[in-house]
């Protein structure tokens, strides 16, 4: 039996995060110096990858020592966890000059994570999503939110502390509900004008403070499409590190079918029968395309399309 009913791309990070060791600076230093320890290199959000034997790509690991040297100190370094007892770190690089033409020349190439994700092993997308989300957080939270002074990194990258007022800051995850509204044998998909041409997807929105997942789902369906939610079923979640979301995938049974796009978030909504939904996923409908398999929306639509009966 697996832990999750469905593992999305960017989920399934296999590392033992060993969070209880993060605060042990001496141990972290030993791991960083150990010759077998590994490093993941991220440059402007792009991971260093290489061609995998047999096709596709994989993470181009460097030694942890090299990652530490590239980081030049704890601020740009993250202890990701342990892989079968071996420590794995990540280093965050920025700047205009491509490090693949400089310090990591010959060790791999930097690729956009979203573009390359489907060619990577699923577990590696989980590792990279963790590193990317952490570095996005670090980049945008350099100052104390309580007093405005510069904060400093602690716990091997997993915390920031304000030296002025002692407030501790922890990485944040922003929950987003994404739901496929269904009524009987039809589901509702919508599109925004900014999306790729003819692409239709599940509806989505940020969870607000004070809301449950079910309430956020019902509010979003009402606001965006004037649908009344009767019942909500959980499908799966997906870490989405642009910059730090967690997509909570739901299938929502609704009461009415007179959906209307709000013309703010959505330009158009349309109902598809289960047969049409299957055809859309196969690319056989001329005027509607499904999101790619990378996206949890695709998996939600697919899961419902492949069900036989009622939700």
Kindly tell me which residue out of 162, 178, 300, 301 binds Zn ion, with binding defined by CB under 5 A.
162
165 binds Zn ion (CB under 5 A): yes
| Crossing angle for the helix pair 25-33 and 64-71, to the nearest 10 degrees | 120
How many C-beta neighbours within 10 Å does residue 135 have? 24
With CB under 5 A as the contact rule, the residue among 144, 178, 203, 232 that binds Zn ion is 144
Token pair listed for 254: 């609704």
Evaluate the CA torsion angle 218, 223, 224, 230 in order and state its sign: positive
| Stretch of residues binding Zn ion (CB under 5 A), selected from 38-46, 109-117, 123-131, 154-162 | 154-162
Query: Which of 153, 301 has the CB closer to Zn ion?
Result: 153
The separation between CA 180 and the C-alpha centre of its own chain, rounded to angstroms, equals 19
Q: How many residues bind Zn ion (CB under 5 A)?
A: 8
Name residue 271's beta-bridge partners: 188
Token readout for 120 is: 């990577």
Is-cis flag, bond preceding 260, omega within 30? no
**Interaction of residue 146 with Zn ion, rule CB under 5 A:** yes
Q: Is 133 in the site for Zn ion (CB under 5 A)?
A: no
Element (H, E) at 36: none
Neighbours of 103 (CB within 10 A): 14
Nearer to Zn ion, 118 or 152 (CB): 152
Q: Quick check: 161 binds Zn ion (CB under 5 A)?
A: no
Decide whether 168 or 212 has the Cβ nearer to Zn ion. Answer: 168
60 binds Zn ion (CB under 5 A): no
CA angle 172, 241, 206 (to 5 degrees): 65
Is residue 217 within 8 A of residue 232, CB to CB? The reply is: yes
147 binds Zn ion (CB under 5 A): yes
**Residue (161 or 311) nearer to Zn ion, CB:** 161
Site for Zn ion in 228-287 (CB under 5 A): none
Span interacting with Zn ion, options 13-21, 98-106, 107-115, 147-155, rule CB under 5 A: 147-155
Q: Does 168 bind Zn ion (CB under 5 A)?
A: no
Chain contacts with Zn ion (rule: CB under 5 A): 144, 146-147, 149, 162, 164-165, 167
């Amino acid at each position: 039996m697996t832990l999750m009913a469905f593992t999305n791309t960017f989920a399934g990070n296999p590392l033992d995060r060993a969070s209880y060791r993060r605060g042990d600076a001496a141990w972290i230093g030993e791991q960083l110096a150990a010759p077998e320890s590994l490093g993941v290199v991220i440059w402007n959000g792009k991971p260093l990858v290489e061609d995998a034997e047999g096709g596709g790509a994989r993470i181009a690991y460097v030694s942890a020592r090299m990652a530490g040297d590239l980081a030049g100190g704890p601020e740009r370094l993250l202890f990701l966890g342990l892989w079968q007892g071996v420590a794995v770190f990540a280093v965050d690089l920025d700047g205009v000059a491509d490090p693949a033409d400089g310090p990591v020349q010959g060790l791999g190439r930097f690729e956009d994570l979203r573009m390359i994700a489907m060619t990577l092993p699923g577990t590696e997308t989980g590792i990279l999503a963790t590193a990317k989300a952490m570095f996005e957080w670090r980049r945008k939270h350099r100052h104390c939110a309580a007093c405005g002074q510069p904060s400093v990194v602690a716990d091997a990258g997993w915390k920031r502390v304000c030296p002025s007022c002692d407030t501790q800051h922890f990485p944040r995850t922003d929950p987003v509900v994404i739901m496929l509204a269904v009524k009987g044998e039809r589901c509702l998909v919508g599109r925004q004008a900014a999306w790729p041409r003819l692409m239709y997807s599940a509806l989505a929105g940020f969870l607000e403070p004070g809301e449950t997942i079910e309430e956020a789902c019902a509010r979003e369906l009402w606001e965006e499409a004037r649908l009344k939610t009767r019942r909500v079923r959980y499908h799966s979640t997906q870490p989405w590190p642009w910059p730090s979301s967690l997509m909570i995938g739901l299938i929502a049974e609704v009461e009415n079918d007179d959906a209307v796009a709000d013309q703010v978030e959505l330009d158009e909504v349309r109902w598809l029968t289960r047969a049409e939904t299957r055809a859309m996923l196969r690319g056989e409908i001329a005027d509607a395309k499904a999101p790619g398999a990378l996206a949890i929306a695709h998996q939600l639509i697919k899961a419902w399309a492949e069900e036989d009966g009622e939700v």
